[in-house]
Structure 1
């Protein structure tokens, strides 16, 4: 069993990464492998619903590599955890753009697999962030 954790923070060693590492330690205690897919700080395009992914065999037409790499990693995973810092009472735009494109272009890689969300904040917005991220699982 392998869990793919998506870190929606631009910081690879920030609070969201620390929260994901805590979950990873708990998973290891149950014999479950895990890896973090770091979204990084490079610009990410939004999905424009062009439908070209249907012609490209589940690959996004925007060749920024990140989304297509995520789809490939998701195909090998048995479950997911999406992590985000909470900025201005919602998840980062980065994780939303990536997940929109990944689910549109390669939704089959995520189907029928369990998932969970982690939101890291010092103030409000966690409930709204959980709500948005959990909708990808339903």
Structure 2
């Protein structure tokens, strides 16, 4: 069995990546003796684009029916992920939505499995369990006010339609800089952010661990 974490952040050791690793630790903990391999895929290490609307994945009798025909760094990744036993997506929030890297990845992953029949059926190889971890500067109480939840729900609905309904967690009011004094960021209180991280981020790490532990049943 193999579970992949898809890191949509350009950073490999900060909030999103840390929570993804905790979630994979939870996956392994839940294995209870069963052999489960885990891997983080860092999207910013790869050279690729989003969907190019070539429709090769929809061409009846075509060599690429049901899979993406583009030849770039995602080709091998998409092949691996298609046979996964679970996927955990993670992204910071940029301008109210997930990063462009992860959005492009989802286009390439999901669209080939979406059939243009009357039911918009899924031909994904597996109805694998999924999860989504969002990290963001916004406080929890502001997410609905500024429309984040609507955006997230749309993303999750697309994933659910093709695979399964994602388990979801949010990490809010994240600590963005190692030294706030070096940046123009007086909209935020470094002291409040530091205290929030000290208290809340360990709890978020535990939530991520539990999310991973609950992924494979």
* TM-score, reference length from structure 1: 0.81
Question: Which residue does the alignment assign to 1:96?
Answer: 103
1:34-69 deviation per Cα after TM superposition (whole angstroms, max 9, x unaligned)? 211110155542213211235343553332222x22
Q: Are residues 1:63 and 2:71 paired? A: yes
- Are the equivalent residues in 2 in contact too, given 1:3–1:34 (CA < 8 A)? yes
- Are the equivalent residues in 2 in contact too, given 1:11–1:41 (CA < 8 A)? no
Question: Which residue does the alignment assign to 2:82?
Answer: 75
User: Secondary structure at the residue paired with 1:131?
Assistant: helix
Q: Which has the higher contact order (CA 8 A, sep 6+)?
A: 1
Count of paired positions: 137
Question: Which residue does the alignment assign to 1:127?
Answer: 149
Following superposition of structure 1 onto structure 2, how do residues 1-138 of structure 1 map, counting pairs within 5 Å? 1-31=1-31, 32-40=36-44, 44-53=48-57, 54=59, 55-57=62-64, 58-66=66-74, 68-105=75-112, 108-109=123-124, 111-123=126-138, 127-128=149-150, 130-135=152-157, 136-138=159-161
RMSD of aligned residue pairs (Cα, Å): 2.4
Give 1 or 2 for the bigger CA radius of gyration: 2
User: Secondary structure at the residue paired with 2:112?
Assistant: helix
The gaps in structure 2 that reach 5 residues or longer are 115-122, 162-217
Q: Structure 1 residues 5, 92: CA separation in 2 closer, same or farther (over 3 Å shift)?
A: same
The gaps in structure 1 that reach 5 residues or longer are none
Higher strand share: 1
Q: Structure 1 residues 91, 112: CA separation in 2 closer, same or farther (over 3 Å shift)?
A: same
Moved more, 5-14 or 79-88: 5-14
How far 1:18 moved relative to its partner? 0.5
Q: Structure 1 residues 34, 42: CA separation in 2 closer, same or farther (over 3 Å shift)?
A: closer
